[in-house]
């Protein structure tokens, strides 16, 4: 073996070794995190080019076309739409992944997950709870959450009855955000996701935890953790001020695509424990408002009975009917494309249903059954008749009272005029009547015998003479004598006092 042949052999061995090593290295793979099955319109998905070298540039392909703006290992789609359906692959360091087909369904999940206690933006480390609801039951369902590392499972403690929510406490948040969702044991049916964000600031901007559908209303709140004494708030969108004042609420009544963007607020506030010093002021972390187009919606028709339809749903579909009464919650009322008729007063809606998806609720039909209409009509008629009768009775009483008063006044005036012939005769008549009664009481009728206890009035002359003689006798004693006698015998009876005065008068004469 010559020296020149040795290097060639070594080169061949090295090439074979490199080929073996290349085959041993894992191939590139496009993965979806979190792995939603299926993916619905409005979901937030992350595509990762797995097994690519850290820091190496990655080229992404969508339907075999290069996505020039995507050069990182992870490609995030904040709000998925049916237009995002297609094939995805990635390239890095000369290697190409297999194609991953993705289908985004323009429907909603069969189950619903919502925040039960807490807010969409929470202080890091705080606890909150979620509520899971599925009209077909929750047997075998579990919940999951993803906060940047591996997907973790939340184990249920109990299984609630049908049509009741499963309330559970979520794990403590230690990252900037986490996404929660639930699925059944097959993994083919799942709930809507909820994203909770965290902040280490005292001022928080409360933003919707899911993308908002165009046409809906949304409320953005600026909160100061631990107090409600907020004096002044400024709201910003994409760095521009949009509202300033005392209100900590910013409302969008009909959301449009132009409302999507980054929001934050600046608040001036005080805590109840603060006794002195100026108010505090802080700006919240920015929060993103995402807007999505509404998915497919069923149509309810009440022209001839109630029926439910969906023009894009195909033939292999069933329909569910829902009713909402005083409890303000939709409950399953029946199945079938047609509904016999309202059995109770309230709101009715329907939707198209498959095992793993469904449409939005249809337009709402408010109905009052005929029996209720008749009852309402009867009640209204009774109220109107009763009110009319009350008015008639009151008017008749007033007319009678006015008529009686007119007759009384007329008779009195005529009687007075016949006696006095002038105004004021009525008062004079009353005076004469009183004097007549007095005279009758003053003297008993002539010829009648006096009885014990009868009232015997003193005659005017007798009273006058008695007073005159008594006072006159006192004066004739010289004025002082009578007064002196009275002083001396002031403790004696009145009869003796007067007698003494009379005796003195006789002596003097």
Over the stretch 411-443, which tens digit does the pLDDT of each residue have?
Answer: 444 444 444 444 444 455 455 555 555 454 444
Q: Which runs of consecutive H residues, i.e. helices, occur in 207-277?
A: none
Percent of the chain at pLDDT exceeding 90:
43
pLDDT of residue 432: 52
Interval 4-19 mean pLDDT? 60
Count the neighbouring beta carbons within 10 Å of the beta carbon of residue 264.
20
Contacts of 282 (CB under 8 A, 6+ apart): 201, 202, 203, 224, 266, 267
pLDDT of residue 298: 96
pLDDT of residue 359: 96
pLDDT of residue 373: 52
The per-residue DSSP string of 384-396 comes to HHHHHHHHHHHHH
CA distances (Å), origin 150, targets 31, 145, 178, 305, 452: 13, 9, 12, 52, 122
Residue 205 pLDDT more than 50? yes
Written as six digits, the tokens of 314 are 């195909």
Contacts of 79 (CB under 8 A, 6+ apart): 42, 43, 44, 211, 290, 291, 292
Contacts of 239 (CB under 8 A, 6+ apart): 262
pLDDT of residue 369: 57
The per-residue DSSP string of 169-188 comes to EPPPP-SSEEEEEEE-TTSS
The per-residue DSSP string of 65-98 comes to EE-TT--SSEEEESS--GGG-EEEEEEETTEEPP
pTM: 0.67
Percent of the chain at pLDDT exceeding 70:
69
Residue 258 pLDDT more than 60? yes
Rounded to the nearest integer, the mean pLDDT of the chain is 78
Contact of 339 with 347, CB cutoff 8 Å: no
Q: Is the pLDDT higher at 467 or at 243?
A: 243
Q: Is the pLDDT higher at 137 or at 451?
A: 137
Q: Give pLDDT tens digits for 378-404.
A: 677 778 777 778 777 777 777 666 655
pLDDT of residue 12: 63
Strand partners, 155: none
The per-residue DSSP string of 90-135 comes to EEETTEEPPPEEE-EESSB-SBEEEEEES-SEEETT---EEEEE-T
Lowest-confidence region among 131-140, 214-223, 447-456: 447-456
Q: Give pLDDT tens digits for 130-166.
A: 999 998 888 889 999 998 888 899 876 566 666 678 8
pLDDT of residue 132: 93
């Amino acid at each position: 073996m010559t020296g020149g042949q040795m290097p060639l052999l070594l080169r061949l061995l090295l090439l074979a070794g490199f080929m073996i090593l290349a085959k041993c290295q894992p191939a590139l793979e496009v993965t979806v995190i979190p792995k939603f099955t299926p993916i619905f319109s409005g979901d937030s998905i992350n595509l990762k080019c797995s097994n690519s070298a850290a820091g190496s540039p990655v080229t992404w392909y969508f339907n075999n076309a290069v996505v020039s703006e995507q050069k990182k290992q992870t490609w995030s789609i904040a709000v998925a739409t049916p237009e995002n359906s297609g094939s995805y692959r990635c390239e890095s360091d000369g290697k190409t992944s297999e194609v991953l087909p993705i289908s985004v369904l323009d429907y909603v999940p069969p189950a619903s997950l919502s925040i039960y206690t807490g807010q969409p933006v929470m202080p890091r480390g705080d606890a909150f709870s979620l509520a899971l609801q599925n009209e077909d039951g929750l047997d075998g369902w579990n919940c999951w959450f993803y906060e940047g590392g591996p997907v973790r499972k939340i184990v249920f403690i109990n299984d609630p009855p049908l049509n009741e929510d499963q309330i559970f406490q979520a794990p403590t948040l230690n990252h900037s955000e986490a996404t929660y969702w639930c699925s059944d044991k097959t993994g083919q049916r799942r709930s809507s996701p909820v994203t909770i964000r965290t902040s280490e600031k005292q001022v928080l901007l409360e933003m919707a935890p899911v993308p908002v559908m165009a046409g809906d209303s949304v409320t953005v709140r600026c909160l100061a953790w631990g107090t409600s004494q907020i004096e002044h708030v400024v709201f910003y969108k994409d760095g521009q001020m949009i509202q300033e004042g005392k209100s900590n609420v910013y409302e969008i009544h009909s959301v449009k695509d132009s409302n999507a963007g980054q929001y934050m607020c600046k608040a001036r506030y005080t805590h109840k424990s603060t006794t002195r010093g100026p108010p505090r002021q802080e700006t919240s972390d920015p929060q993103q408002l995402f807007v999505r187009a509404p998915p497919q919606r069923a149509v309810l028709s009440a022209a001839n009975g109630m029926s439910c339809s969906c023009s894009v749903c195909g033939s292999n579909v069933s329909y569910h009917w829902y009713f909402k009464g005083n409890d303000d919650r939709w409950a399953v009322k029946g199945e079938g494309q047609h509904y016999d008729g309202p059995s109770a007063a309230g709101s009715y809606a329907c939707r198209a249903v498959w095992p793993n998806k469904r449409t939005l609720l249809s337009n709402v039909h408010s109905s009052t059954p005929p029996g209720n209409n008749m009852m309402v009509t009867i009640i209204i008629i009774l109220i109107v008749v009763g009110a009319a009768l009350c008015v008639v009775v009151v008017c008749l009483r007033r007319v009678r009272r006015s008529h009686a008063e007119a007759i009384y006044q007329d008779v009195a005036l005529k009687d007075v005029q016949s006696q006095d012939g002038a105004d004021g005769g009525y008062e004079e008549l009353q005076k004469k009547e009183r004097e007549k009664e007095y005279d009758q009481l003053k003297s008993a009728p002539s010829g009648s015998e006096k009885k014990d206890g009868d009232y015997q009035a003193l005659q005017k002359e007798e009273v006058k003479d008695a007073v005159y003689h008594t006072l006159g006798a006192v004066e004739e004693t010289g004025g002082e004598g009578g007064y002196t006698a009275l002083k001396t015998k002031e403790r004696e009876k009145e009869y003796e006092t007067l007698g003494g005065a009379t005796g003195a008068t006789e002596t003097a004469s």
